[in-house]
């Protein structure tokens, strides 16, 4: 599918998760993981596209 000149895949799925990691590089150059989750560890969905 193409919208305003941007191609979007038509194949997608919802991926259930209870959290995910984001990585941030510290001043020393070491990668520090940060874990994100919903209040009460509720399950949520993330969209995955092909």
Tell me the torsion sign for CA atoms 49, 44, 19, 24: positive
For the segment 26-40, what is each residue's pLDDT rounded down to a tens digit? Answer: 999 999 999 999 999
Query: What pLDDT, on a 0 to 100 scale, did the predictor assign at position 42?
Result: 95
**Domain residue ranges in the chain:** 2-49
Q: Which residues of the chain have pLDDT under 50?
A: none
* Centroid of chain to Cα 2: 23
Of 42, 3, 1, 50, the residue nearest 19 (C-alpha):
42
> Does the model's pTM come out above 0.85?
no
Q: What share of the chain is helix, strand, coil (3-state, %, to 5)?
A: 5, 55, 40
Question: Phi and psi (nearest 5°) for 21?
Answer: -105, 140
């Amino acid at each position: 599918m193409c919208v305003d000149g941007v191609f979007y895949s038509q194949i997608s799925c919802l991926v259930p998760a209870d959290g995910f990691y984001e990585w941030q590089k510290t001043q020393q150059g070491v990668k520090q993981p940060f874990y994100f989750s919903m209040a009460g560890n509720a399950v949520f969905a993330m969209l995955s596209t092909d």
